[in-house]
């Protein structure tokens, strides 16, 4: 199965001009880490990047990027600038920018973003909505996942 999506960051020309087209490649600074084995309940807010390897039960309002690792579990609503999902989400995702859904991701809920990239093997049980007016673009991921 090939994912049909919109370009990550604008036009195809712009995508080809930069090697750092993935959200995680463009991220700057150190992310706030919620480690594997850690469990948080409540509302998460901030303007920095967050990386979740553990479990969160609650909602978030993050101005920057939220990265949910393969071991991560999120139960609640995610509102962030950009979202990268490799783990499990039980709730809705609203991104003002882009969403990347890795092959290990499992999402139950609605995903809304300017652009959504879905890797082969990912499972989304819900609706995906894009807010951009661009035409969908087909792509095949050629990079190997980071281990």
Domain borders along the chain are 4-132
The string over 7-46, giving b where at least 16 C-beta atoms fall within 10 Å of a residue's C-beta and e elsewhere, is bbbeeeeeeeeeeebbbeeebeeebeebeeeeeeeeebee
Reported pTM: 0.76
- Mean pLDDT of successive 10-residue segments in the chain (147 residues)? 41 39 58 92 93 96 95 98 97 96 96 92 94 70 62
3-state secondary structure of 15: helix
Q: What is the pLDDT of residue 5?
A: 42
Q: What is the pLDDT of residue 132?
A: 84
Q: What is the pLDDT of residue 20?
A: 43
**14 conformational bin, left if phi > 0, alpha if psi -120 to 50, beta if neither:** alpha
Structure tokens at 30: 């150190």
Q: What is the pLDDT of residue 106?
A: 98
């Amino acid at each position: 199965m090939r994912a049909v999506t919109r370009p990550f960051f604008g036009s195809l020309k712009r995508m080809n001009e930069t090697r750092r087209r993935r959200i995680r490649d463009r991220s700057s600074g150190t992310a706030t880490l919620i480690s594997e084995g850690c469990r948080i309940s409540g509302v998460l807010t901030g303007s920095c990047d967050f990386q979740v390897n553990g479990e969160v039960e609650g909602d978030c309002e993050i101005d920057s990027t939220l990265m949910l690792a393969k071991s991560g579990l999120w139960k609640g609503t995610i509102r962030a600038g950009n979202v990268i999902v490799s783990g499990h989400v039980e709730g809705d995702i609203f991104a003002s920018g882009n969403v990347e859904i890795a092959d290990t991701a499992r999402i139950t809920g609605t995903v809304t973003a300017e652009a959504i990239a879905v890797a082969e093997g990912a499972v989304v049980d819900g609706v995906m909505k894009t807010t951009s007016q661009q035409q969908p673009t087909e792509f095949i991921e050629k990079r190997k996942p980071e281990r």
